[in-house]
Every structure is written in C-alpha cells, then in structure tokens.
Structure 1
C-alpha cells in the first residue's frame, strides 16, 4: 500500500494535492489538517462521487488505521489513494499548521 509521512504530505498539499480526512465529525472539528474534504470512514462507500477520479490523493485519520482501511477500499474501487502514516497526531507533533472549529466554508 502506498504511504507517505506528514513531511511529504505537507509538500504535496503545498503543490495542490487533494486530501481526504476519514475521521468522525467531532474529531475533525477539534483539530484537522487545513483543506481537503471530510468523509467519515463508514460513509466513504456511499460518497465515492465526491472523490476525484484519475488523480492521486492522500487519506488521513488520527494515527493511520482508519485511513489504511479507506485506502485499501478506495484502491480496490480504482482510486489512486495514498495512506498518511501517523495521521493527524504526527502532523501536530511535527508542528504543522492546523485548523479547528465547525467545517463551514470547507469541504466536508
């Protein structure tokens, strides 16, 4: 399974890459990597039309378990999904910028 660390994710996002956060709403509102779209893991199968086809995108959760499950499912469905090792906990530990609060104004 393809995987990147948060340092590589930061560079990819700066270059305009897309990110999918598969955590629950409360987790995402508490703290998140800015940008991207939010679809809780259990809702991903029913919301595939919201995920871009034909471009690589990065899937994140809290530490990497749920995102790994999402990446397996999405790759089986034909998407070019890449897991983010360490998730938002690693992103925060690395000192990268975060956002918090309601998801209004961001894709969710």
Structure 2
C-alpha cells in the first residue's frame, strides 16, 4: 500500500483523466483568478471550506486536488481521504508546474 491515500499526478498526466474526475482548486479566490490562472473546468473550493463543502459530495467520485505548488492540495487529499473519499489525485507541483510545462520553450 502507498504511504498516502491519494495518487500523485504530474501536469503531463492531466490529459489521462476522464471527464468524470472533478477538478477541485483549493486556493483562495485571488489566486484562482490571478496570474497563474486555473485549470479548465476547475471548481474553486478554498481549503478552509473544503471539508464542509465536500460533506455532500459522493464519496466514490474521483477528485483532482489543485493548488499553487502541491502542498495545500496534498493536505486537502488527506482530509478528504479521512472523510471517506476513495479516488483522490494530487496535482504535483500545482499550477506552478502546469504553467512551467506550458511555458514557451526557448
């Protein structure tokens, strides 16, 4: 068994996720709308409100947790795992890594 209850996903693996995976961005609003932007289809659920918001979500639905660098999203994934969610993904490196991957090379 892995050491944590979620699967780490790199920005390069985002395309492998199906449409059934909900994208949950746990940053604050000013970050979500800020220079780093957010993933298409991502829902803003700041970390401080996550457990309350997730109380009504189906436990079997796969969730991708996103933040700026991967730290808050890892905490979010752990909290959701404790809440009974079974299919959790953490975006390693967060939006910083996504932007870096899509930055023009040269």
TM-score for both structures, normalised by structure 2: 0.80
* Structure 1 residue aligned with 2:31: 27
In 1, the alpha carbon distance for the partners of 2:11 and 2:84 equals 24
Distance 1:28 1:62, change over 3 A: same
Q: 2:14 aligns with which of 2, 5, 9?
A: 9
Paired residues in the alignment total: 94
Runs of at least 5 residues in structure 1 that lack an aligned partner in the other structure:
97-108
Measured on the aligned residues, the alpha-carbon RMSD in Å equals 1.6
The alignment partner of 2:33 has SS state of helix
- Runs of 4+ in structure 1 deviating by more than 6 angstroms, as ranges, are none
TM-score normalized by the length of structure 1: 0.79
Deviations 1:50-75 (A, max 9, x none): 64431221101000000010000001
Answer with 1 or 2: which has the greater Rg: 2
